[in-house]
């Protein structure tokens, strides 16, 4: 058993290949809540997938193979560290597209074996969840809203490796809902930033859309009904003018914000009950959708009324990157949480293994 040394200084290489970004970064963890990004390189595959309106797993895996070794070399050079300076290698081992995860994990294993370094198999969701430690020096416990292209969850982060899932989506992830809405309206992929841009000049009150799950006891989400309602409104209104598109985007985004406020508010009550009234009230938002400013403003308002501090890492660290994998790897390494070479790549890997699968939830939830 390795002793836990929470103030140990470690340098970690992080590798991320679970979706459509190939990423490598080096992070220095000085002590608890104090990290420094030495390099953080992301090579997006957006152009490879754009024509298909979504990520194609086979194309993604091949593209990771093509660029990963060069990217790692660049990340090491930019960080100014040699292999001997590293204390460990962290690679995403899931959840995600299996072909891609295998590329990164096998590369991590190869480096760890060749350089005799500890290997840390990182859960991609845990990396998103812990990023705020790197960016804001925030250590658990806190309430986490994780909203990305593959995941929509509300979780209590009790500690590294200790999560309690309060809610998840029963169908689409929120980023996916943004992407599908964009596709329906003829806007390019990825749709989130596009929908946000058009919504800015639209009338959010023009189209009456549902707020799925609002008022339910458990803070789960569902976006399928909202998507269907939006498609109907679009079909009724077609041919769509620029103003129609903007109004549809604004009405959709308003509905999403209302849902998020209601669900997060419910989760706050559960968080306070679980950890006791005296618990520090902190809400952390992570994942690509955290970049959405309308959602951010709604959450700010909620946090003000509920006496919570709101922490949102900068956009570049909310979307997939290697530094967050390195940081999660460092947090695990100092706790003695390392893996051997038999550790598998996993398409599905829930943070809270005790949580019952939500009815209808997709594999990524």
Binding site for ligand KG4 (CB under 6 A): 19, 148-150, 175-176, 178-179, 190-193, 196, 287-289, 291-292, 319-320
Cα distance between residue 280 and residue 254, in whole Å: 29
Pairing of strands 282-286, 88-94: unpaired
Q: Does 222 bind Zn ion (CB under 5 A)?
A: no
Would you list the DSSP string of 211-247?
A: -TTTT-SS--B--HHHHHHHHHHHHHHPSPPHHHHHH
289 binds, among Zn ion, ligand KG4, none (CB under 5 to 8 A by kind): ligand KG4
Cα distance between residue 283 and residue 365, in whole Å: 20
Cα distance between residue 27 and residue 79, in whole Å: 8
Contacting range for Zn ion; rule: CB under 5 A; set: 34-42, 64-72, 140-148, 237-245: 140-148
- Nearer Cβ to Zn ion (19/209): 19
Q: Exactly one of 320, 323, 331, 358 binds Zn ion (CB under 5 A); which one?
A: 320
Cα distance between residue 60 and residue 21, in whole Å: 8
Cα distance between residue 110 and residue 104, in whole Å: 10
Provide, rounded to whole angstroms, the least separation between the CB of residue 124 and Zn ion. Answer: 6
Q: Does 148 bind Zn ion (CB under 5 A)?
A: yes
- Nearer Cβ to ligand KG4 (121/334): 121
Tell me, by CB under 5 A, how many residues bind Zn ion.
Answer: 2
**Burial 5-44, CB ≥16 within 10 A → b, else e:** eeebebbbbbbbbbbbbbbbbbbbbeeeeebebbbbbbbe
The answer to whether 323 and 283 have CB atoms below 8 angstroms apart is no
Provide, rounded to whole angstroms, the least separation between the CB of residue 18 and ligand KG4. Answer: 7
175 binds, among ligand KG4, Zn ion, none (CB under 5 to 8 A by kind): ligand KG4
- Nearer Cβ to ligand KG4 (26/127): 127
Provide, rounded to whole angstroms, the least separation between the CB of residue 184 and ligand KG4. Answer: 14
Torsion angle of C-alpha atoms 71, 77, 82, 88, degrees rounded to 10: -40
CA quadruple 21, 30, 143, 168: dihedral sign: positive
Provide, rounded to whole angstroms, the least separation between the CB of residue 84 and ligand KG4. Answer: 33
Provide, rounded to whole angstroms, the least separation between the CB of residue 50 and ligand KG4. Answer: 12
Contacting range for Zn ion; rule: CB under 5 A; set: 57-65, 142-150, 193-201, 216-224: 142-150
Using alpha carbons, select from 84, 85, 74, 10 the residue that is nearest to residue 39.
Answer: 74
Provide, rounded to whole angstroms, the least separation between the CB of residue 296 and ligand KG4. Answer: 9
Residue nearest to Zn ion (CB): 320
- Nearer Cβ to Zn ion (147/250): 147
- Nearer Cβ to Zn ion (131/148): 148
Contacting range for Zn ion; rule: CB under 5 A; set: 66-74, 97-105, 107-115, 319-327: 319-327
- Nearer Cβ to Zn ion (320/339): 320
Phi/psi-derived region of residue 39, left when phi > 0, alpha when psi is between -120 and 50, beta in every other case: beta
Q: Which residue has the tokens 């749709």?
A: 191
Residues contributing to the site for Zn ion (CB under 5 A): 148, 320
């Amino acid at each position: 058993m390795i002793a836990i040394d929470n103030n140990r200084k470690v340098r970690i290489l992080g590798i991320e290949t679970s979706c459509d970004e190939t990423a490598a970064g080096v992070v220095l963890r000085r002590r608890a809540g104090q990290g420094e990004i030495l390099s953080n390189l992301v090579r997006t595959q957006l152009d490879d997938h754009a024509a298909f309106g979504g990520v194609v797993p086979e194309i993604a895996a091949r593209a990771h193979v093509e660029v990963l070794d060069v990217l790692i070399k660049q990340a090491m050079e930019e960080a100014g560290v040699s292999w001997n300076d590293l204390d460990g290698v962290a690679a995403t081992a899931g959840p995600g597209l299996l072909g891609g995860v295998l590329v990164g994990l096998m590369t991590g294993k190869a480096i760890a074996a060749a350089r005799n370094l500890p290997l840390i198999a990182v859960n991609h969701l845990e990396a998103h969840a812990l990023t705020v430690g790197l960016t804001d020096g925030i250590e658990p416990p806190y309430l986490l809203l994780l909203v990305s292209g593959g995941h929509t969850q509300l979780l209590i982060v009790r500690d590294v490796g200790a999560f309690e899932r309060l809610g998840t989506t029963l169908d689409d992830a929120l980023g996916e809902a943004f992407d599908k809405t964009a596709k329906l309206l003829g806007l390019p992929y990825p749709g989130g930033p596009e929908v946000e841009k058009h919504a800015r000049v639209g009338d959010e009150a023009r189209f009456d859309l549902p707020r799925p799950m609002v008022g339910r006891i458990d803070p789960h989400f569902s976006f399928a009904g909202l998507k269907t309602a939006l498609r109907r409104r679009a079909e009724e209104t077609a041919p769509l003018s620029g103003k129609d598109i903007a109004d549809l985007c604004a009405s959709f985004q308003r509905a999403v914000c209302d849902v998020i406020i209601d669900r997060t508010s419910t989760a706050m009550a559960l968080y306070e009950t679980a950890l006791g009234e005296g618990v520090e009230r902190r809400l952390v938002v992570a994942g690509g959708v955290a970049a959405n400013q309308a959602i951010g403003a709604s959450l700010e308002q909620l946090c003000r009324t509920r006496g919570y501090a709101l922490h949102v890492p900068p956009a570049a660290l909310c979307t997939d990157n290697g530094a967050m994998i390195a940081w999660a790897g460092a947090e695990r390494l100092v706790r003695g949480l390392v893996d051997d070479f038999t550790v598998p790549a996993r398409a599905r890997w829930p943070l809270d293994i005790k949580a019952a699968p939500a009815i209808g939830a997709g594999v990524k939830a």
